[in-house]
Amino acid sequence: MKKIWLLLFCISLSSPAISAGEDSVHSALSYSPTQVAVYSQGLKQTKDTFLLLEANMASESLKFYIPSSESLYVDGPDILVGFFAKQPGRAIIQMVPENLWTYINKNLAPYTYPAMREREITLFCNPQKTQHITLKTSHKPADCTGCDYEPPYEVTWHDTSHNKTKKLPLESEIRAESHGPETYAYCKGDILYYESSVRSDDEENYWCDVIRAHHISTGKDEVFVSLPAEKCGAKLSGPMAVPGTDYLLYQISDYEKSNTQLFMKKGLK
């Protein structure tokens, strides 16, 4: 039987500086104590999906740090957790609650997301950087009076070594990242993973987050991660790569249920 080492602790986030300002009901500030569970070897969900971390506080974005090409640190919330890349799910627990930020600033480099340059993002699909994908925001349609149009990306795949270019007909557009929690697109080999959404089946019929996978050579477009029906109102963020592995990370944050979960899922072949 798989041994799971579970760390569960509470950190009270009350700050004396803030509490001092509590002079009336309306100025009262309060924080829920946070409970974080870290599963050192991953809590198996399906054959290729593991739950790594769970917190009883909805965090809109965990922070990730990559100190080397073989490990990854996750800050969240108020606990620093390291993962060995070569043994997916294996965690190194590191608690630095008092001076977390000083420690991070001194020792860890933040995971950098592809920067948008003039409404264009480049994602590299192989370590040699001969294959890459450009995401370019498209223009607002003329019939969008009064709407705050969030433009979808026009996606093009480039292979500079073979001088090939291909426009990708994605099933649904990649979510733009003008505001809100971090959103990602990630390219590895022949597959582009991207955050998107599908219409829910319930009576409210609104859009639920999904992560899709597009196979560049065949054009096959499939759902890589979808939210369970009861969590359709939650925020799915991802995917991002776990260095040195075939695994991808994604996060589900449910504000209504005050719950954040970090998962690791094996990438497609």
Partner 1 sequence: MPNQNKTLHQLRQNMLQRRLQEIEYLERQQARQDDFTSRLYGKKDFSEEKEKIKAELYSHSQQSNSLPTNEKSKEYSQPTHNDATNAKTKPEKEIPDVIQKAINDYKQAHPQQYQQERLQIDRENAAGGFFKTQTLEKWQQKDKEYQNDKQSHCNTAVGSLLKEKGIDWPADKEMNDIIDYMEKSSEWEKIPRQENGRLDHKAANDLAAAGETVVVTQKNPTGHGHSALLTGNNKMFTSKNWLDENGKEIPIPEVKGSVGSEKTKTQHLGWHLKQQVEDQMDYYRYKKVRF
Binds partner 1 by CB under 8 A, chosen from 36, 43, 53, 62: 62
Tokens of 217: 């050579």
Q: Does 175 bind partner 1 (CB under 8 A)?
A: yes
Binds partner 1 by CB under 8 A, chosen from 67, 97, 110, 180: 180
Give the C-alpha separation, 264 to 52, whole Å: 7
Give the C-alpha separation, 7 to 169, whole Å: 44
247-262 burial, b at 16+ Cβ within 10 Å, e below that, comes to bbbbbbbbeeeebbbb
* 15 versus 45: smaller Cβ distance to partner 1: 15
Give the C-alpha separation, 146 to 231, whole Å: 31
Pick out residues in 10-49 that bind partner 1 (CB under 8 A). Answer: 13, 15, 18, 21, 25-31
- Alpha-carbon Rg of the chain, whole angstroms? 20
Q: Does 261 bind partner 1 (CB under 8 A)?
A: no
Q: Does 215 bind partner 1 (CB under 8 A)?
A: no
Which DSSP category does 161 fall into?
Answer: T
Tokens of 110: 């933040």
Q: Does 77 bind partner 1 (CB under 8 A)?
A: yes
Binds partner 1 by CB under 8 A, chosen from 233, 243, 244, 266: 233
The residue ranges that bind partner 1 (CB under 8 A) are 13, 15, 18, 21, 25-31, 58-63, 75-77, 100-102, 104-105, 144-150, 173, 175-176, 178-181, 197, 204-207, 233, 235, 255-256
